[in-house]
Amino acid sequence: MTDTLVFIWRGETVSLANIPATRTLLQLLREDLNHSATKEGCNEGDCGACTVVLGEKQGQAIRYSAVNSCIRLAHSIHGLALWTAADLADVDGAPHPVQQALQQCHASQCGFCTPGFAMSLFGMYQTHVLKDQPVTRALAQETLSGNLCRCTGYRPILDAAQHMASLPKMVMDETILLQQLELLTQVNKGTEADILYNSPESLDALLLARATQPKAQIVAGCTDVGLWINKLHMDFAQVLDVSRVAELRLIEAQATHTQIGAAVTLTDAFAALASERPQLRGFFNRFAGLPVRNSGTLGGNIANGSPIGDSMPLLIALRATVVLASVRGQRELPLEALYTGYRKNVMAADEVLAYVRVPHPQANEHVQAYKVSKRFEDDISAVCLAVNLQVVDGQVTQASIGAGGMAATPVRAVQTEAALINQPWTQATVATAMDVLKAEFAPISDMRASAAYRREVLGNLLHRFWLETSGQGACQLHTIDFDAAMPMPGVAA
């Protein structure tokens, strides 16, 4: 038994009691509320059939985010507004432009995945179309990167994404909704949550809860813990949700670095990083799919410690540090020093990862990150390499390199860095460094790639970095990025 869950749905305030702490939003919809419009597909945040849209009050506006309901805990939507595929039509029954576009462009065949596509498009409609922002093919593809279709084909769905902008607009009156959401911020979740599902709103409250509940499972966007619940059938007596902690939701530009709170979503964290280093935007867009980035947090990805987590190699290359906090105080350490083994770290039982600090770009800095995976989007890396070099007068003065998929943890390639520093930035230097890089790690073979493939690709990615930074782009070598040619994940060749 746990405290009351309150949210806005279909213009009404919904209040539900006795929702278990590990109940997912999809379970709440389909099993508790008998709502079948939201589909269950993979149940791991990969196919997008379960996509819903959440609305959160931010100032005097509402932010709309498409998320995977199958790996989102039900209690995480306390105080938010919810839309599903059955909620798009107007009150008089007139179809929404999203629905009209899907129908007019023949963008549905079996229809199972269509509700998820519709909700991702609804999120784009609210955040782009209603603001008169052009819907390009690239934007449509990014928006639908977390949705898979196995029978219709992606061309008509992408057509629908662009076509809906040409239809008469359907504008939602947000005045009443803003008032409803404001009232929900005043709802007390009760003392029961302190035992089963605790979602503190201040850092002090979070640290006190962590000290008194050291065995509670910490969650933020729940994009990985949700898999533990659905696939491993894990249950937790206590859940500590950090996603509402005000201090951890801030992005602050400081003198030497950008400080990103651990509860900042990947969408917002990547946008902040890309504002300083625009060349990384393509890499960020390949992190899972948009619904996962809308829920998952940068701090959660780091604390999770997966050896194939894409953000860590880049942050290592950027020389990022993490701040660990407890009731005893704070300590700061390089990100790569956080890990001690496979999904293990140095955090004490009463500590939480509070902040990520990323240094600002430096003069003569060259930064790039590369991801190799079987699908272009919505997939896990086989190999990830991030390189950050400072080159002055043709000589490497500083180097930091992060790698993923090469060891039990995300790692820094210190031997390769040593082979580059104080050396001329030439093909001969790179050739030597490539050999060092391929020998520096002992990766495993698994379902994604063999150890030999990983080593070879890692070296080749360093060579690609040299070609790009020396003005010899891949196009001059007449190479083809076959992944980039795929318009959407899952398309048959």
pLDDT at 481 (0 to 100): 37
Instruction: Give the tokens for residue 63.
Output: 């932010």
Instruction: Give yes or no for residue 356 having a pLDDT over 50.
Output: yes
Q: pTM of the prediction? A: 0.93
- CA angle, residues 480, 148, 405, in degrees to nearest 5: 55
pLDDT of res. 188 = 56
Pairing of the two strands 81-83 and 5-9: parallel
Separation CA 120–CA 378 (nearest Å): 14
- Cβ proximity of 50 and 230 under 8 Å: no
pLDDT at 258: 98
Radius of gyration of the chain (CA): 23
Per CATH, the number for 365-477 is 3.30.390.50
Of the candidate ranges 439-443, 454-458, 489-493, the one whose mean pLDDT is the lowest = 489-493
% of the chain residues with pLDDT over 90:
89
pLDDT band at 478 (very low <50, low <70, confident <90, very high): very low
All residues at 6 or more sequence positions from 32 whose CB lies less than 8 Å from its CB, including other chains: 16, 19, 23
What mean pLDDT do residues 121-140 have?
Answer: 97
Return the domain boundaries, the chain: 5-182, 199-359, 365-477
Q: What pairs with residue 56 in β-bridges?
A: 63
The pLDDT score that the predictor gives to residue 187 is 67
Q: How do 197-198 and 217-219 pair as beta strands?
A: unpaired
CB 198 within 8 A of CB 241: yes
CATH of domain 199-359: 3.30.465.10
pLDDT of residue 41: 96
pLDDT band per the 50, 70, 90 thresholds, residue 195:
low
Angle at 71 (CA atoms; ends 65, 74), nearest 5 degrees: 75
Angle at 286 between CA 272 and CA 157, to 5 degrees: 110
338, exposed or middle or buried, with CB in 10 Å at 0-12, 13-18, 19+?
buried
Structure confidence by residue, pLDDT tens digits, 223-262: 999 999 999 999 998 999 999 999 999 999 999 999 999 9
Q: Which CATH architecture has domain 5-182?
A: Roll (3.10)
Interaxial angle between packed helices 114-127 and 97-104, expressed in degrees from 0 to 180 and rounded to the nearest 10: 130
The Cα–Cα gap between 123 and 139 comes to 12
More confident residue, 482 or 43: 43
What average pLDDT does the structure give for the chain? Answer: 92
Residue-wise pLDDT tens digits, 388-434: 999 999 999 999 999 999 999 999 999 999 999 999 999 999 999 99
Q: Letter for the amino acid at 39?
A: K
Q: What was the pLDDT predicted at 184?
A: 87
Whether 491 has a pLDDT exceeding 50, the answer reads no
Residue with tokens 């990969």: 46
Contacts of 291 (CB under 8 A, 6+ apart): 45, 48, 51, 66, 67, 68, 120, 146
The answer to whether the CB of 3 falls within 8 A of the CB of 79 is: no
pLDDT tens digits, 295-343? 999 999 999 999 999 999 999 999 999 999 999 999 999 999 999 999 9
pLDDT in tens, 9-38: 999 999 999 899 999 999 999 999 999 999
pLDDT at 479 (0 to 100): 32
Q: Do domains 199-359 and 365-477 have the same CATH topology?
A: no
Q: What is the pLDDT of residue 470?
A: 87
486, pLDDT greater than 60: no
Question: Per residue in 272-301, pLDDT tens?
Answer: 999 999 999 999 999 999 999 999 999 999
191 or 215: which leads in pLDDT:
215
